[in-house]
Structure 1
Amino acid sequence: MESVARGVLYPGRHAEVVETRRRDPSPEAARFVELYWHVRWRVDEPHDSKVLSYPSVHLVFEEPEPRIYGVVRDLFVRRLEGEGQVLGVKFRPGCFRPFADGPVSAYTDRVVPAAELFGPEVAAVGRAVLAKQDTADLAKLAEEFVLSRLPEPDPVAEDVAGMVERITARPDLFRVDEAAEALHVSTRTLQRLFAEYVGASPKWVMRRARLQEAATRADAGDPVDWAALARDLGYFDQAHLVRDFTATVGVPPARYARS
């Protein structure tokens, strides 16, 4: 078990009030599930948790009801008040599609009651999950529920998961045609598969990987050569990186690094 940090903005400030833990899925669930994450907080005043989300769909056991969170293309902000906890099931990119009744893009930038897809019994599971305190116990109940709902394996979903993994590991990839060439598919096929299975375009996935890498470098605490980083990430120049980062995070990367 380890903490989950990448993608969380202002991680030092976040860790002061929020405890985030993770559990890996069993081999049986790992075809579909990337991990289970457990967030617990206690704050004296409201705290906005900000995250550069991954191209993943989440099933979240929370109050007042379990919900499905589609891919969030903007900055994800969750206001935390008082004390509480949530347990999330993070599906592998592309691998929520076999559970859904249509393209995953239908969930993009949306939060819907989990009962709409998994039936009313998910509410009782949610109450049982949140009655626990230990991460392993919460994750065990969540996994039992997921295993009871496992669809037939979809080889295309697994292929798409591999595609997302490959291009997010290459933050220097900047154009969709470059990604398509690296993946040995046509640009049109790549765009169609991502709309159906991921819920975000290849361009967005590549851009998000670059922004996460820039934020990770800034969070490391070491001086950052922003011009060199911009080149490493495939930007035309430093100004392009600054504009891209500011448009999503809300502040330029150098100012973010000083925060």
Structure 2
Amino acid sequence: MAATPRSDTRGIVDASGLMSRVCFRRHLPAEPLRPYLEHYWLIDWDLPEPYATHVVPHPSVNVVFQRYGDREPLGEVAGIGLDLFSKKLEGRGRVCGVQFRPGGFRPFTPERPVADWTGLRLPLEDVFADAGAPGTLDKAPEAVLGPDDEHARVAALDAFLLRLGPDPDPQADLAMALVDRIRTDRTIRRVSAFARAEGLSVRALQRLFASYVGVGPKWIILRYRIHEALQRAESERAESEQAVDWAALAADLGYADQAHLVRDFTATVGVPPTAYARG
């Protein structure tokens, strides 16, 4: 497990624009939670004019606590987003989020397959109905968002999640390991070959991912390709970087040709990669 939280901006569209407008930090959770979580992410902003942020979601469930202006704080579970996520930030606000590892959310809600939450954003009580003492879920948003000290917010997130479990599950461990393999190994391009290499049938792999991850292995392979292409396009926007060789990147990511990469990137992000790189 990592000793520090991830520092990349994979998935964030116009990452430099967002980071120049908000205070964005990541923190590791308490030790017992680290097998299941990527990190906590904290954002604060005070903007003179609105800014629209866009994210190509990871194959991760998030628990999100948020406060916008003087509105009441709220908490929700965000299942894996299948489409580009967009949010307009304006005035003052604060968000404290929990990004679970792909496959790491099921131990906190063992009675339901993770695919049940995919594409949905639900109030905490709709997902954790039987968790904790009465009133725990109602009090959680203020407990997390109230402190100005970010370490106190992290401690509140730890306390909230430790009250929920998790229940150890070898199948969750397997799902997390398989997704990590897809994320780090660019040679994994076909679900059938991946399943065979792992000693599973394609159907068994798909069932595991539906129950514990929330999306299929083919979707994850494609999503990580887009994350890589987005990060390379983001780097090209910096004057010090050389232009991306999109044909070479397409081949490196396992596409048949550059046109297929352009098609998937445009469908996900909304503009072709070369246009995005030009800003």
- Residue in structure 1 matched with residue 158 of structure 2 by the alignment: 143
User: For residues 214 and 49 of structure 1, what CA distance do their matches in structure 2 show?
Assistant: 18
The change in CA–CA distance for 1:183 and 1:45 in structure 2 (over 3 A counts) is: farther
- Residue in structure 2 matched with residue 89 of structure 1 by the alignment: 98
User: For residues 134 and 205 of structure 1, what CA distance do their matches in structure 2 show?
Assistant: 36
CA shift, 1:137, in A, is 1.5
**For 2:265, which of 224, 242, 245 is the aligned residue?**
245
CA shift, 1:42, in A, is 1.9
Structure 1 residues 64-73 or 170-179, which shifts more?
A: 170-179
Q: Residue type matched to 1:160 in 2? A: A
- Residue in structure 1 matched with residue 49 of structure 2 by the alignment: 45
Q: Is the 8 A contact 2:108 2:167 kept in 1?
A: no
* 1:149-188 map, 5 Å: 149-188=164-203
The answer to whether 1:215 aligns with 2:267 is no
Aligned length: 259
- Per-residue Cα deviation, 1:41-75 (whole angstroms, up to 9, x for no partner): 22222211111111111111113410000000111
User: For residues 75 and 156 of structure 2, what CA distance do their matches in structure 1 show?
Assistant: 13
Q: Residue type matched to 2:50 in 1? A: P
- Residue in structure 1 matched with residue 132 of structure 2 by the alignment: none
Q: SS at 2:218's partner residue?
A: helix
Q: Is the 8 A contact 1:22 1:37 kept in 2?
A: yes
Unaligned ranges ≥5, structure 1: none
Q: SS at 2:31's partner residue?
A: coil
**For 2:12, which of 8, 15, 20 is the aligned residue?**
8
Structure 1 residues 67-76 or 130-139, which shifts more?
A: 130-139
Which TM-score applies when normalising by structure 2?
0.88
Unaligned ranges ≥5, structure 2: 68-72, 130-134
Q: SS at 1:204's partner residue?
A: helix
RMSD: 1.5
The answer to whether 1:70 aligns with 2:79 is yes
User: For residues 174 and 53 of structure 1, what CA distance do their matches in structure 2 show?
Assistant: 20
Structure 1 residues 182-191 or 69-78, which shifts more?
A: 182-191
- Residue in structure 1 matched with residue 208 of structure 2 by the alignment: 193
CA shift, 1:158, in A, is 1.0
Q: SS at 2:95's partner residue?
A: strand
User: For residues 47 and 178 of structure 1, what CA distance do their matches in structure 2 show?
Assistant: 43
Q: Residue type matched to 1:161 in 2? A: M
* 1:118-133 map, 5 Å: 118-119=128-129, 120-133=135-148
What is the identity percentage for the equivalent residue pairs of Structure 1 and Structure 2? 44
- Per-residue Cα deviation, 1:66-109 (whole angstroms, up to 9, x for no partner): 00000001111122111111111111111111222311111001
**For 2:121, which of 78, 93, 111 is the aligned residue?**
111
User: For residues 78 and 158 of structure 1, what CA distance do their matches in structure 2 show?
Assistant: 32
CA shift, 1:26, in A, is 2.0
- Residue in structure 2 matched with residue 21 of structure 1 by the alignment: 25
Q: Is the 8 A contact 1:66 1:115 kept in 2?
A: no
Structure 1 residues 183-192 or 168-177, which shifts more?
A: 168-177
Q: SS at 1:22's partner residue?
A: strand
CA shift, 1:16, in A, is 1.5
User: For residues 118 and 134 of structure 1, what CA distance do their matches in structure 2 show?
Assistant: 27
Q: Is the 8 A contact 2:9 2:231 kept in 1?
A: no
The change in CA–CA distance for 1:197 and 1:165 in structure 2 (over 3 A counts) is: same
User: For residues 137 and 8 of structure 2, what CA distance do their matches in structure 1 show?
Assistant: 25
Structure 1 residues 41-50 or 140-149, which shifts more?
A: 41-50
User: For residues 172 and 242 of structure 1, what CA distance do their matches in structure 2 show?
Assistant: 20
User: For residues 254 and 38 of structure 2, what CA distance do their matches in structure 1 show?
Assistant: 28
The answer to whether 1:231 aligns with 2:234 is no
